[in-house]
Homo-oligomer: A and B are copies of this chain.
């Protein structure tokens, strides 16, 4: 018996983001893309647009590659009921409410599919291919325009009872602090994400008249100013890092994960930010607990590699 190229079992990985969509195909067990494509969403894109675009893109990739599609793994940028593969909604794109995405994809591609939210899937990607390899328990936290998280325990995404585990962004780290989109005050997200860093810098610099109030700060520019020695920017970065370290410390005491992997743009805020995050987490965790906090390795590709892992688990 000979095995032909067309016997190759393929995994389709899909990453539905708020502003961009990515699809990729690889051979089951393979570690390189056979085909890969990313498109950015035009203004006004909705759920219908997203779904049609992704399917067209996936069909195009699959047409280019010899082999048999065996499984589809999906990362979605919003709350998902992973058990049924149903998207609850997108916070960024209208027209995604209660979408049975897994069933739609299974009908479309005639292959088993699994869907989970992007923080969970990115956690799985980092566990399998990135900075969390070999860890029995992993907390992945993305610190970006918001703060999200996901758990991988014993090689599987831990979803929790309502599929909502990992919402570290909404634990309170500063009672009475800034107002969060969730309605509470002092949540980790509103005290430590990139948007929060920019907001604090704006507030502080306006108050101290360091700069014109119409100047626009971003998390990135504050980090740069801090690295260049601006004391106000350093204070803002330190504060955000302390808040993150506090939240991580709580997570360590509660779950004692083997490793915490930090992703998202804010992790590029420099050595100082990392030092304060680690020191604060260490100070909050009980002394017998190891505190292993490392940067993510896969960057923006973490959800896609996690989708591969989700797909391969179906084989």
Q: Which residues of A contact B (CB under 8 A)?
A: 79, 88, 136-137, 149, 151, 153, 158-168, 170-175, 182, 184, 246, 249-251, 253-259, 283-284, 286, 288-290
Contacts and interface: CB of A to CB of B under 8 A. Distances in A.
Given A79-B288, A284-B184, A165 B254 contact: yes
A288 B171 CA distance: 15
Lowest 8 A-B CB distances belong to which pairs? A160-B256, A161-B258, A171-B250, A165-B256, A167-B253, A164-B256, A170-B253, A164-B289
Given A182-B286, A253-B168, A136 B153 contact: no
A290 B160 CA distance: 10
6 contacts: A136-B161, A161-B258, A161-B289, A161-B290, A168-B253, A171-B250
**How many subunits of this chain does the assembly comprise?**
2
Contacts of A175: 173-175, 246
A172 B246 contact: yes
Contacts of A153: 153, 158
Contacts of A88: 288
A162 B288 contact: yes
A167 B171 CA distance: 16
A170 B167 CA distance: 19
Contact of A255 (B165, B283, B290): B165
B172 A249 contact: yes
Contact of A172 (B137, B163, B250, B288): B250
Contacts of A149: 254
A168 B250 CA distance: 8
Contacts of A174: 175
Contacts of A286: 164, 167, 170, 182
| Interface core residue of A88, A136, A151, A171 (most chain B CB under 10 Å) | A171
Nearest to A151: B255
A249 B163 CA distance: 16
Contacts of A289: 160-162, 164, 167
| Interface core residue of A88, A253, A259 (most chain B CB under 10 Å) | A253
Contacts of A251: 254
Nearest to A182: B286
Nearest to A292: B161
A290 B162 contact: yes
Given A170-B286, A172-B246, A251-B254, 19 more contacts: A79-B288, A88-B288, A137-B160, A151-B255, A159-B256, A160-B257, A161-B258, A161-B289, A162-B288, A162-B289, A164-B256, A164-B286, A165-B254, A167-B289, A168-B253, A172-B284, A184-B283, A250-B254, A254-B255
